[in-house]
Structure 1
Amino acid sequence: MSTSAVRNEQRYALPVEFGKVDAPPKNPQSAESRSGSGLTRSVLVTHPGLQHSHQLALALHEKNMLQGFWSGILVAEGDELLPWWLPEHFRKRVRRVGIPSALRVHPIRFQLLLQASMRLNAGQGGDRIHRLFHWFDAWAAKRVMASRPKVVIAYENAAYHTFAAAKAVGARCILDAAAFHHKTVAEQLNPPDTPYTPEVNRRKDAEIAMADLILTCSPLAADSYQANGVEPARLQPLLLGADPKLVTPITSTRRDGPARFMFAGPLSFRKSVDLILAAFARLNAEGFQYELHFVGGVVDQELLGAVQDAPGAVYHPSVPQSQLFDLMATADCLLLPSRSDSFGMVVAEAMACGTPALVSSQTGAKAIVEAFPESGWIVEPDGEALYNALRKLISDPALMQRARVPALLASKEFTWERYRARAGRVLQEYLQ
């Protein structure tokens, strides 16, 4: 695949790192490396949650550039023991990442508070999470002043104080933006404002202004920043990846039965679940046979009810990752016609299972289909376009079968290993 296409693209015993004490770990840099021009262990990555930050931190560690990875969500090395008191449901979610514990800080208070906030349905749940991220930002900023990295990579909505501290110690600031520019999101979704929205957006604008470089999850997301006044020279798209195991062999003949479609993600307006339901309601009324599987959490309870009532639809609550891949591998097509999605990791995951994807023009993972046109389909995020595309695929399931091998080939360029190679190379070249 061409470079241009890709671009369009320790043991735990209640230690300091797990939040018992607020002091940062000792700076592992030698005096020589700190005073020199090299980048050895000079980059700090901070994130109140996780997202793909552990993959970026690992990319830097593989280049011997990582000074520290501070995350509100615990990760562990492959053979690292977890705290005996960690609840079982937390244990199952711990990502195994090859970053030494000496380089990591995981203040447990943030993970506990984040989990509590996500379980509370009353009031402005989003505001609670925003305030928690801002608290993490202030927590990290104090420690930046002590650890004095040369480069700080922080994440959208948790970089305001961290970047100010980084500037104070002469460090360069890199913003990893997981979403579209907030003004673009407002145009696409018109989300209701809360009393805290102006403060959230004010901080986001300040983060963008302080950033020397902004990483986005796709060229489409980079376009949203450029459209809102960010200079192209400060933008760098880095398409994400996936590493599921292939659980079903790719064959030249498809399984028996009606076409099987799958949606994976939160049931929400943003993901266009309403459009999916409307399109299949029309197809059902016309007598078409199909299976429609929804997998994931619930943002909108009304959508959950509609899914449960829809003919031919099956709802699976959030499932373990291995089970998710099994479901993906037996689907004929993944659906992600989002109204606003800076990437859409499930597209890369599905393709790694040999399952092609139908995505919208406002889904960043469309870059995969653009680079490998036979691996899926791109439609506008509106009901008529989605209906027409689905009708064509249901009428001729061989179209989806023929796309399975190209989808698998496309996935080879969008693994986490390839992401780390791209990210490591881009950051090394930029910082040198």
Structure 2
Amino acid sequence: MLSVHTSPLHQPGTGDAGGLNVYLVELSRALAGRGAEVDLFTRCRGEGHPPWVPLAPGVRVRHLPAGPRRPLPKEELPARLAEFSLGLLRDPGLVGPRPYDLVHSHYWLAGQAGRVAAAHWRVPLVHTMHTLARVKNAALADGDTPEPAHRIRAEHRVVAAADRLFANTADEAAALHALYGARPTRTDVVRPGVDLRTFCPREGRRAARRRLGLPEGAFIPLFAGRVQPLKAPDVLLRALAELVREAPELRDRLHVPLIGGVSGTGTRHPERLRALAHDLGIAGLVRWEPAVPQPRLAEWYRAADVLVMPSRSESFGLVALEAQACGTPVLAAAVGGLPTAVRHAETGFLVPGHEPVDYARRLRWLAHRPEAVARMGHEAVRHAAGMSWEAAADGALRAYRSALAEARWQRRGQGRRHAPAPVGVPVLEEKERRGFTLAGHFVSPKEWCSPDSAVQ
């Protein structure tokens, strides 16, 4: 597995770490539980980790040097992809011309390195997008920055090169087909799961509130995730202001934790959200909390009456599934994978659009109906129980086996896949001077890592 921009060792909810990190950790563990051996390569950021770190039995995280050994903005990482790819191919731990049976890359940056490695080793490439630039650009918040054109071009190249594509939901698969020309026969819907050992009801809401020091009789809507415009925490704040205007009697009961670190374009104005809460007159209702480890996050889910996810785009929304597994209903935007993660009017509510008044109306309904919150919570636990990471691993293994069987069939000369020509062998010893051959073209390292290169 490849993940260039973020490591499974990073804390979800900070920087670029989020649901993708949870996905990498949990799917790898579940695959290892089914007998697979997984090496997960990521960029070395100078955090003091050794070259490889055991994550679980059968799973190792391996760190490759690519650029300065410090965190880099995602915007600078395309220029490091050639170095990452070359480092992967010459890694001293690799044995033989085909050290792996299969490459599974995650996110568009890793997909570029995955194309090189899979073609060089002549093994299948499986890719999971996690987010799609075209989908994100269609749902931008006011003032947010669109994904660049070179990312969209790179995503098209990965779609063309991959032997299999994993989509979180049928809707994401449809978007891959309609927006990127992905072939349905090479696209597998593999739903993410939830760690049901960590995320479960346990002692319940009252005990969780005692442990967290929260008022027992409060009405607690919770936000958990990266604090950035895409996740729309501003919509929640505006909904709270609308709620106390419509139902002033709730002001004394409201207690609203926002858990997570400033991320993405939110880092440009890190104080903007706090300033908005102050301007709306609700600053005293909001409790700002940093991102926390998974067991602690489960406590926050159990303590809340409802998780609020007004996201403008979500490929799936793992936090919605985690909260439901803890017995907490979800109030979410009806976007992306959230209609799959949440059953409307059964385990929570789905809101079309991002009008704060619509969220305020649902919050008011829930605040006055604790029996409905409890009923939805029971249904949420049952719903989440059907989405385990073990089930996700079974789906992934079926797709892997299909890709491997097709690769064997092609090697016997009985089929020919319509894909870009294989990547030539990089000249490792003199890579800075000599470059390598890609699909019949000589490419210098500088040209290969350029965002506008026509041969990428």
- TM-score by length of structure 2 reads 0.69
Is 2:138 the partner of 1:187?
yes
Is 2:251 the partner of 1:303?
no
Which residue of structure 1 aligns with residue 75 of structure 2? 127
Secondary structure at 2:256 match in 1:
strand
> Compared with structure 1, are the counterparts of its residues 111 and 278 closer, same or farther at alpha carbon in structure 2 (3 Å cutoff)?
farther
> Compared with structure 1, are the counterparts of its residues 363 and 332 closer, same or farther at alpha carbon in structure 2 (3 Å cutoff)?
farther
Deviations 1:303-344 (A, max 9, x none): 243346534211111223322211111101111121111111
Secondary structure at 1:328 match in 2:
helix
Which residue of structure 1 aligns with residue 375 of structure 2? 402
> Compared with structure 1, are the counterparts of its residues 193 and 401 closer, same or farther at alpha carbon in structure 2 (3 Å cutoff)?
closer
Superposition CA RMSD, Å: 3.4
Is 2:217 the partner of 1:262?
no
**How much does 1:175 deviate?**
0.9
Secondary structure at 1:334 match in 2:
strand
Is 2:258 the partner of 1:294?
yes
Q: Give the distance between the partners of 2:204 and 2:275, measured in 1 at CA.
A: 35
Secondary structure at 1:297 match in 2:
coil
Q: Is the 8 A contact 1:307 1:314 kept in 2?
A: no
Which residue of structure 2 aligns with residue 167 of structure 1? 119
Is 2:185 the partner of 1:225?
no
Deviates more, 1:56-65 or 1:321-330: 56-65
Q: Is the 8 A contact 1:138 1:162 kept in 2?
A: no
> Compared with structure 1, are the counterparts of its residues 400 and 314 closer, same or farther at alpha carbon in structure 2 (3 Å cutoff)?
same
> Compared with structure 1, are the counterparts of its residues 257 and 233 closer, same or farther at alpha carbon in structure 2 (3 Å cutoff)?
same
Where in structure 2 are there 5+ consecutive unaligned residues? Answer: 9-20, 210-214, 406-456
**How much does 1:288 deviate?**
4.3
Q: Give the distance between the partners of 1:387 and 1:266, measured in 2 at CA.
A: 22
Which residue of structure 1 aligns with residue 165 of structure 2? 214
Which residue of structure 2 aligns with residue 122 of structure 1? none
Name which structure has the greater RCO, CA cutoff 8 Å, separation 6+. Answer: 2
Q: Is the 8 A contact 1:342 1:363 kept in 2?
A: yes
- TM-score by length of structure 1 reads 0.73
Which residue of structure 2 aligns with residue 236 of structure 1? 188
Which residue of structure 2 aligns with residue 313 of structure 1? 286
Secondary structure at 1:246 match in 2:
coil
**How much does 1:280 deviate?**
0.8
Q: Give the distance between the partners of 2:129 and 2:218, measured in 1 at CA.
A: 40
Q: Is the 8 A contact 1:357 1:377 kept in 2?
A: yes
Q: Is the 8 A contact 2:128 2:167 kept in 1?
A: yes
Q: Is the 8 A contact 1:136 1:158 kept in 2?
A: no
Q: Is the 8 A contact 1:351 1:357 kept in 2?
A: yes
Which residue of structure 2 aligns with residue 98 of structure 1? 57
Secondary structure at 1:239 match in 2:
coil
Deviations 1:269-325 (A, max 9, x none): 111111111111011122141221110001322124334653421111122332221
Is 2:44 the partner of 1:61?
no
Q: Give the distance between the partners of 1:216 and 1:210, measured in 2 at CA.
A: 16
Deviates more, 1:166-175 or 1:288-297: 166-175
Which residue of structure 1 aligns with residue 41 of structure 2? 70
- AA matched with 1:415: S
**How many residue pairs were aligned?**
359
Q: Is the 8 A contact 1:361 1:380 kept in 2?
A: yes
> Compared with structure 1, are the counterparts of its residues 364 and 353 closer, same or farther at alpha carbon in structure 2 (3 Å cutoff)?
same
Deviations 1:327-368 (A, max 9, x none): 111101111121111111111211221111112111413313
Q: Give the distance between the partners of 1:365 and 1:131, measured in 2 at CA.
A: 34
Aligned-residue identity in percent: 22
Q: Give the distance between the partners of 1:294 and 1:262, measured in 2 at CA.
A: 6
Secondary structure at 1:267 match in 2:
coil
Deviates more, 1:306-315 or 1:285-294: 306-315
> Compared with structure 1, are the counterparts of its residues 373 and 66 closer, same or farther at alpha carbon in structure 2 (3 Å cutoff)?
farther
**How much does 1:138 deviate?**
4.3
Q: Is the 8 A contact 1:272 1:381 kept in 2?
A: no
Q: Give the distance between the partners of 1:218 and 1:318, measured in 2 at CA.
A: 27
Q: Give the distance between the partners of 1:111 and 1:61, measured in 2 at CA.
A: 31
Deviations 1:373-412 (A, max 9, x none): 6212111231143233223222323221211111111221
